[in-house]
Chains A and B, each alone.
Chain A
Amino acid sequence: MIKRGLGVALLWLSVAASVFAVTDTSPATTLLQQMQQAYRELNFELTLIELRRGQLEPKRLTRGHLDGQALTYLSYLNGQPREYVQRDDEVSFFESSHDGYTLKPSELPGLFVRFQSMPVEQILAHYNVVAAGRSRVLGRIADVLRLDPREPDYYGYVLWLDQETGLLLKLDTLDKEMGLVEQVMGVALNISTQPAAFLTELKAASLPPVLSLVEAYPAPQQALPWQADWLPKGFEIRSQDKHQLPLTGQLVDYLMASNGLVDVSVYVANAMPNSDSRQQLIRQGATHLVSLVNAARMEVTVVGDIPAEAARRIAESITVKTGETP
């Protein structure tokens, strides 16, 4: 009898727990889900301006759905042409300096698109999502969402979501002092029932042959003779290998860590005998590059969209695994 009572109580608890899990629908969470749903379902063309360190970069994002296939076209409007075409999870990259190629699976570049595809639970795990009232963007009423980082080593974000459709219209990246680090702002939006005419063309266009990731990038995963003793909380190692850098052909040990939204790359090479140990900090929008030569004569470089302090801490935490030499 007691056992049965206990069983019932357990059952009730588990039901209650699952209900809780499903009904975690604060207004802010719902807005995030609506944003992703709008991106998945709507046919639209959004012209964006990206602001990075005083430089403006206009882009156009066109997305449509044809016979159950999602087609996205992202193009840089100024300077050297850069065009990206996404058909479901195949992405073709066209840049002026080299031949186009298609990767599967891959993603369109940029945080703006990453926000559309990453699981909402992962956003909620790392950021405190707060509905921050309403504002006007693109002449439309927008819901404002603040993503306050749960860890001090992350950037924060502010999202402006179209109230009518849920679409992401504007995205700010903020540092700890709430200073603007990077901004992507919609300046023109066209939502239509039918996808843009040229997307139909794109669907039929013959794009470069699909490369699987193994074909495109044959560097095998392997354990590295060093480790990062510190990574921002919530970051996990996603990849470890040895490969050559473009341009210079330099051989490097490589590690990628990610929290789902932001990726950080760590490069380690043997320092040249004559290289000095000065630290370098380079910033491009939200991206920081920190480079240093440590006591073990390893040249460590950390690149990623994280605050400079966090990048430096990762770089300084790289040590040779005990019992091995670099």
Chain B
Amino acid sequence: MANKEHISALVDGEIQDKVLLEQLGKDKALAATFGRYQLYGDALRNELPTHLHLDLSDRIAAALELEPTIMAPGSNMTATAAPQAATILKPAFGRTLVRHFAQFAVAASVSAAVIFGVQQYGQQQGVGTAPVLNTVPVSGSAAPVSLNYSSEPGERLSQQELIDQQQKINALLMDHELQQRLRQP
């Protein structure tokens, strides 16, 4: 088949041929070739899945034909889908936003605590007041890659020191995130 060379090129991403792609959709033999060549490519790139599901398309098509009851309501679906989607999305979005607004009271009490902390700290001249804004702490994925421990071999960080260290790292990562939000575009 003369088209095979074309298909090979298509799989390799060397060409993009709309006509050929359309043909692929119609011609079963061509489609099979395309599928096989994709597989060869994956094999060459070492990207083969552990289990190969060969020619599932035919089996799925056959299975679908055997299940007319599931396919039947499909005709009504287009009519109801849009309003349904809207009603699903609306409460989900509204709820989260409202929940955030409801936290205002809590946030206000927290900022009062922060200001108290500032007074204790003894402000220096020209220092920004306590941050009004915040970011979220990292979700536990900030792991040390290497810690160059000091020479004493017996030294271990206590539990409290580890917690303090983690909090310090979180604070720095959060502040970096915040600074990017405050950055002038």
Interface residues of A (CB under 8 A from B): 52-53, 55, 79-83, 89, 91, 93-101, 103, 105-107, 109, 117, 133-136, 141, 144, 163, 197-198, 201-202, 205, 208, 211, 213, 215-220, 222, 238-239, 241-252, 254, 256, 258, 263, 265, 267, 276-285, 287, 289, 291, 301, 303-304, 308
Contacts and interface: CB of A to CB of B under 8 A. Distances in A.
Contacts of A107: 180-181, 183, 185
B178 interface: yes
A238 B132 contact: no
B43 interface: no
Nearest to A89: B185
Contacts of B150: 276-278
A189 to B, nearest CB: 17
A217 B134 CA distance: 11
B90 interface: yes
B40 to A, nearest CB: 15
Given A218-B129, A246-B174, 14 more contacts: A106-B185, A109-B180, A133-B14, A134-B13, A141-B16, A197-B86, A198-B90, A220-B126, A238-B183, A246-B131, A256-B183, A263-B176, A281-B147, A284-B142
B141 A52 contact: yes
Contact of B128 (A117, A141, A218, A291): A218
B124 A251 contact: yes
B185 A265 contact: no
A249 B121 contact: yes
Contact of A246 (B16, B96, B126, B175): B175
Q: Which of B135, B136, B142, B180 is most buried by chain A, counting CB atoms within 10 A of its CB?
A: B180
Which range holds the interface residue count of chain B? Answer: 35 or more
Nearest to A250: B171
A134 B18 CA distance: 14
Interface string B106-128: 11001000100110010010111
A59 to B, nearest CB: 13
B171 to A, nearest CB: 4
Contact of A220 (B85, B121, B128, B182): B128
A128 B145 CA distance: 30
Contacts, number: 210
A101 B132 contact: yes
Interface of B: 13-14, 16, 82, 85-86, 89-90, 93, 96-97, 100-101, 103-104, 106-107, 110, 114, 117-118, 121, 124, 126-139, 141-150, 167-185
Contacts of A135: 13
Contacts of A97: 134, 136-137
B107 A197 contact: no
Given A205-B97, A249-B121, A263-B180, A243 B169 contact: no
Contacts of B178: 246
A91 B183 CA distance: 12
A163 B16 contact: yes
Nearest to B15: A134
A61 to B, nearest CB: 15
A107 to B, nearest CB: 6
A91 B181 contact: yes
B16 A106 contact: no
B147 A278 contact: yes
Contact of A267 (B170, B172, B181): B172
Contacts of B126: 220, 222, 242
Contacts of A96: 100, 136
A182 B106 CA distance: 36
A276 B136 CA distance: 29
B23 to A, nearest CB: 16
A197 B87 CA distance: 10
Contacts of A217: 128, 131-133, 182
B118 A289 contact: no
